Amino acid sequence: MTIKEIDVKSVMTKSNLPVSDFSVNPYVGCAHACKYCYASFMKRFTDHPEPWGDFVDVKHWPAITKASKYAGKEAFLGSVTDCYQPCEAKYKRTRALLEQLQGSGIHISIATKSDLVLRDLDLIRTFPGARVSWSINTLDEDFRREMDRGVSIERRLEAMRQFYEAGVQTTCFISPIFPGITDVDAIIERAKGQCNLVWLENLNLRGDYRARILNWVHEHRPELDGLYRDIYGRKDRTYWSELDADMRHYCAAQGMSYVRNDDTLRARHGEPPVVVNYFYHEEIIPSSRKEQLRQTRLCC
């Protein structure tokens, strides 16, 4: 693993995400090396010859001295990296950022595959409406190890439980869903007592990892070749339409709210989580809804 420290002018980047004003990434690259990582395109903006997943740049930025200007804004930590990947234990850049923003009134959402985030639980819970999500797309550790170098699924679920019991909003992010492999119902059953939200996102194959995933499926799950050829070769969305219908019925039977492309709903602690379908969300949600969704959240 190649680790380099770099200086940047700011870590707060204006965001194009529908429900976030800022995308915040204290690192470039990610040691979790997910085979399906959509952020691997970032490599071309670096000078690294190493493959994506084998290098990390540690960002150093001028301390944020006027954090109050972010009051009421939304920040998403971890849009193209994992803020709590292993090197965070040493460099503590995410913690430094949280300390600089503490008390500013900014709303934060954190996405991770790690339980290192537990170190900062007491700090995170001081932010208004703080939300932490863990990516979990399988309960099968063998498959998980094939796809990423993150901590085990059980460690992620345990971290989720501790945040939930501490009163922090938690999300089980079932992403990406591998057709014919990811058991969505089983994951929800395992996580539903310790999360406020469940997000569902389809596996979207593009860039250099498309061939990597299709080759893996062919080698390890050849019986799924036809399904993947239909979805990713012929652009047939029947699988996702059927899964949408199945999830709608499942959630109705379980007393869970089920919505599509809507980030405005929150289940209270102790209630069944809200399940949100984000299949092909980049095509369905126009960026013009950003302010509408943000205002709705602030009013809830």
What is the average per-residue pLDDT within 251-277? 95
Confidence category of residue 248, pLDDT binned at 50, 70, 90: very high
pLDDT, the chain, mean: 92
Q: What is the pLDDT of residues 200-245, one digit of tens each?
A: 999 999 888 999 999 999 999 999 999 999 999 999 999 999 999 9
* Predicted pLDDT at 56: 96
Q: Which residue has the higher pLDDT, 160 or 299?
A: 160
Confidence category of residue 284, pLDDT binned at 50, 70, 90: low
Helix (H, G, I), strand (E, B) or coil at 243: helix
State yes or no: pLDDT of 288 exceeds 50.
no
Q: What is the pLDDT of residues 6-24, one digit of tens each?
A: 999 999 999 887 778 999 9
* Predicted pLDDT at 146: 97
Instruction: Compute the distance between CA of residue 251 and CA of residue 215 in angstroms, rounded to an integer.
Output: 34
- Under 8 Å CB-to-CB from 249, ≥6 apart: which residues? none
* Predicted pLDDT at 287: 46
Instruction: Compute the distance between CA of residue 88 and CA of residue 8 in angstroms, rounded to an integer.
Output: 17
Amino acid 10 reads S
What is the fold, at CATH topology level, of the domain defined by 2-204+237-299? pyruvate-formate lyase- activating enzyme (3.80.30)
CA 143 distance to own-chain centroid: 18
Q: What is the pLDDT of residues 106-140, one digit of tens each?
A: 999 999 999 999 999 999 999 999 999 999 999 99
State yes or no: pLDDT of 296 exceeds 50.
no
* Predicted pLDDT at 42: 80
* Predicted pLDDT at 41: 77
pTM surpassing 0.95? no
Strand pairing of 22-24 and 12-14? antiparallel
What is the average per-residue pLDDT within 41-54? 85
Closest to 98 in 3D by CA, of 112, 83, 85, 86? 83
* Predicted pLDDT at 220: 98
State yes or no: pLDDT of 293 exceeds 90.
no
